[in-house]
A and B are shown apart, each in its own frame.
Chain A
Amino acid sequence: MSEKDMQDLVNGFVQELRRGTIILGVLSRLTEAQYGYSLVGVLEEKGIQVDPGTLYPLLRRLEKQGLLESQWDTNEARPRKYYLLSETGKRVYEELCAEWTRMAEGVQSLIEPDKKA
């Protein structure tokens, strides 16, 4: 296997790992209203890279599923769509957090010995 093929494989796996964590990251930041691009910046500060081309459709999907509520703010220079957690969203977020903690601990304990060796 060439170096490039391996890198492609790794990228594919990383994509899969990130998919769920992005949702978790997005939900965690929406206890206060945010618009799409500000959310990109906020997540980036925490080291979560997400490109707007992925985030914007994701926000729409989460809204459609009833986890978020949105509102256009037309008071600024240009209209922006602000998103905020709904009641359902809050509960879903809490459950996901608990699940994530369990998962992260489990994975961590699995890979820990490998690291030391």
Chain B
Amino acid sequence: MEMIDRYAFAVTQRLPERQRKEIDKELRGLIEDMLEERFASDRSERDERAAVEEVLMELGDPAALAEKYRGRPRYVIAPELTDAYIAVLKVVGASIGIVLMVVFAIRAVIDPMNILDYFVDAIVSVFTFAIPHGFGWVTAIFIALSFVGADGKAWELRSHKEPWTPLQLPEVPDSKRRIPKSDPIAGIAFTVFITALVVFFPNVFGVVIPSGEGGRAIVPFLSEAGIRPYAWGFLAIAAATVSLSAWKLRQRRWTPPLAWAYIALQSLSAVFVVFAFTDPSVYNPSFVDELVQAGFFPIDGEGFRLWSRYAAKWIAPVVALFLLLDIGQTLYRVYRK
């Protein structure tokens, strides 16, 4: 009877591989039992069809039955993370939207002749860049987080070793320990904004020079090819920052594990940024020459070249200073009496 095959298949294909055979056998037996009880054994073909339909109606939707066999609802993104997921998705989406608009605006102002091309570019970018990268990354991060916190408890990061007592109740956070909602949201927006520009549109950083017949062009400060080897690092740090912000959104207060995770991530980011931006190949090698050519420097660019080499040495100490301030502030928030 084909309909029984279909029904058994519809149920079992929704179940884990190793249970399929057994449950298939069980189901078929059950359907036969039900048919036998309800209808005399000498059935004509037409009656049988109606009988099977009636029995299957009684067993109900195969998806619901499979759900009962599984015994727990399945999800890709944990229900307790759904709110955070939607919030982060909105922020990331808005940030990427702004990036696309900024890039479009810069190009349009500099070169109004080709405004239509830039507009089409921006629209195409929504599908080639915004959706796969924005939506894709956020979704991947939250799937990973759901997987980690599959029991829903990893999120609280509570130790399971000791039973709960009222003494473990965290104190109501004072204003210094509390994390305002704006903090992680601004963090995500800023991270996405900068990462998207540096990794995908490095050419918008630069100096505008006149070119050709009254047009203008940007002399890019960074080199697209030079940035490319570092793209994964930038994206990984952005992903980690978004994950940490999601954790902040959920917890809304500074705790030692959160603080140390934050410090570790900030340190890692700082090291990476210094590492990337002290590599001469991330800069446009002909930056100075192009500016000299455009008559941007009254004399030759040698002075500027010296200055920029000097500036590169300052990247590490400056980044380190900000990092130390950030670490100090974070520790003060967590451990102050």
Contact = CB atoms under 8 A, between A and B. Distances in A.
B34 interface: yes
A52 B23 CA distance: 13
A57 B69 contact: yes
Interface of B: 23, 25-30, 32-34, 37, 58-60, 64-65, 68-69, 71
Contacts of A36: 26, 29-30, 33
Interface stretch (A17-25, A26-34, A75-83, A88-96): A75-83
A61 B72 CA distance: 11
Contact of A57 (B32, B33, B34, B68): B68
B52 to A, nearest CB: 15
A54 interface: yes
A35 B26 CA distance: 10
A57 B71 contact: yes
Given A36-B26, A79-B25, A54 B33 contact: no
A114 interface: no
B51 to A, nearest CB: 15
Given A81-B26, A81-B29, 9 more contacts: A37-B29, A51-B58, A51-B59, A52-B30, A60-B23, A61-B71, A78-B29, A79-B25, A80-B29
Contacts of A37: 29-30, 33-34, 37
A37 B59 CA distance: 13
Contact of B65 (A53, A61, A80, A81): A53
Contacts of B28: 78
A100 interface: no
Contacts of B23: 60
Most buried by B among A35, A54, A60: A60
Q: How large is the interface on A (under 10, 10 to 19, 20 to 34, 35 or more residues)?
A: 10 to 19
Contacts, number: 44
Contact of B69 (A60, A72, A80): A60
20 contacts: A35-B33, A36-B26, A36-B30, A37-B30, A37-B33, A37-B37, A41-B37, A53-B59, A53-B60, A53-B64, A53-B65, A53-B68, A56-B27, A57-B65, A57-B68, A60-B23, A61-B71, A72-B25, A78-B28, A80-B29
Contacts of B29: 35-37, 78-81
A63 to B, nearest CB: 11
Interface string A56-70: 110011000000000
Contacts of A35: 29, 33
Q: Which 7 A-B pairs have the closest CB atoms?
A: A37-B33, A57-B68, A57-B69, A53-B65, A53-B59, A52-B30, A80-B29
Contacts of A57: 65, 68-69, 71
A30 to B, nearest CB: 16
B59 A52 contact: yes
A57 B30 CA distance: 12
Contacts of B32: 78
Most buried by B among A36, A53, A54, A60: A53
Contact of B68 (A54, A72, A79): A54
A115 B64 CA distance: 38
A78 B28 CA distance: 9
A79 B26 CA distance: 8
Interface string A95-108: 00000000000000
Interface string A38-61: 000100000000011110110011
Nearest to A58: B68
A80 B23 CA distance: 12
B58 A56 contact: no
A83 B65 CA distance: 20
A72 to B, nearest CB: 8
Contacts of A78: 28-29, 32
